[in-house]
Amino acid sequence: MSETARQHGPQTHAPVLAATNITRRFGGLVAINNVSFEVRPGEILGLIGPNGAGKTTMFDLLAGSILPTSGEIRLNGALVSGEAAHLRIGRGLGRTFQIPRPLPNLTLIENVMLAAQGQSGERLLANFLTPWRVAAEEKVAAKKAADLLELVSLTRLAHEPARVLSGGQRKLLELARVMMADPAIILLDEPAAGVNATLLEVIIDRVRDINRSGITFLLIEHNIDMVTRLCHRVLVMASGELLCEGTADEVARDPRVIEAYLGGAA
């Protein structure tokens, strides 16, 4: 485990997010089989495994995009197994995607502002009955969005349409968008995929900065160097099951992990 990970590891064992005996079936296919783990406050937990291991399905289950066939998911102690994704966002769970899809014709700051929660302007009547409140909230949201774009080093592009961004810049924009909703935990889906080395360093630094501010991460990533540098603990999945967990160094030496990656696990 890296020096940064040791210095900024979690300070408590009470879970922010907990999966208990999670199973998900698609017809006769068991995509996730009886998986249990916890994400502790303040940590960056890595989730790795070969292609087809079930990592993205697990993210979909945690985020509420799909529901488990059996088992429980708890977010800050609340049972959310049957809740839709938008309700989990309201409880403090944010998620990014491997391929970000910002609204291309909106500016970066507009894209970020769209993620603001609980805005009066979302209700039609409020725009007519309390326009001053709507305007005040929008001003606060614009300031917060600008601060987040500065955090992810995109200030100079704040008023440019999102379509001008590179793949790495889109991932930084998505990180700002998810931060706009004030998450307690962020599910970060392959932030290194398709990103050049320079922007990858920026992403790593920003994840560290955000983690130091108290936000927890669960990270899917194939870039083992990034996992080693960032993650306090690592979970390894293969064939829909949890294979092992430990530090990056520990799981890299585990014979089961070597077999899963080199032995053709699906």
Q: What is the DSSP string of the chain?
A: --HHHHHT--S--S-SEEEEEEEEEETTEEEEEEEEEEE-TT-EEEEE-STTSSHHHHHHHHHTSS--SEEEEEETTEE-TT--HHHHHHTTEEE--SS----TTSBHHHHHHTT-SS-GGGSHHHHHH-HHHHHHHHHHHHHHHHHHHHHTT-GGGTTSBGGG--HHHHHHHHHHHHHTT--SEEEEE-TTTT--HHHHHHHHHHHHHHHHTT-EEEEE-S-HHHHHHH-SEEEEEETTEEEEEE-HHHHHH-HHHHHHHHTT--
For residue 230, how far is the Cα from the chain centroid? 14
Three-state DSSP string of 14-63:
CCCEEEEEEEEEECCEEEEEEEEEEECCCCEEEEECCCCCCHHHHHHHHH
| Per-chain mean pLDDT for the chain | 88
**Local confidence band at 16 (pLDDT 50, 70, 90 cut-offs):** very high
Give the model confidence (pLDDT) of 148-172 as tens digits: 999 999 999 999 999 999 999 999 9
Please check the confidence at residue 87 and state whether its pLDDT lies above 90.
Answer: yes
The Cα 168–Cα 10 span in angstroms is 28
Q: Looking at the domain that runs over 3-100+183-262, which CATH code has it been given?
A: 3.40.50.300
pLDDT at 206: 94
Please check the confidence at residue 118 and state whether its pLDDT lies above 90.
Answer: no
CB 187 within 8 A of CB 95: yes
CB 243 within 8 A of CB 260: yes
pLDDT at 7: 41
* Structure tokens given for 115: 């993620």
Mean pLDDT over 84-95 rounds to 93
pLDDT at 265: 41
pLDDT at 8: 44
Residue-range domain boundaries for the chain: 3-100+183-262, 103-164
- pTM of the predicted structure, to 2 decimals: 0.86
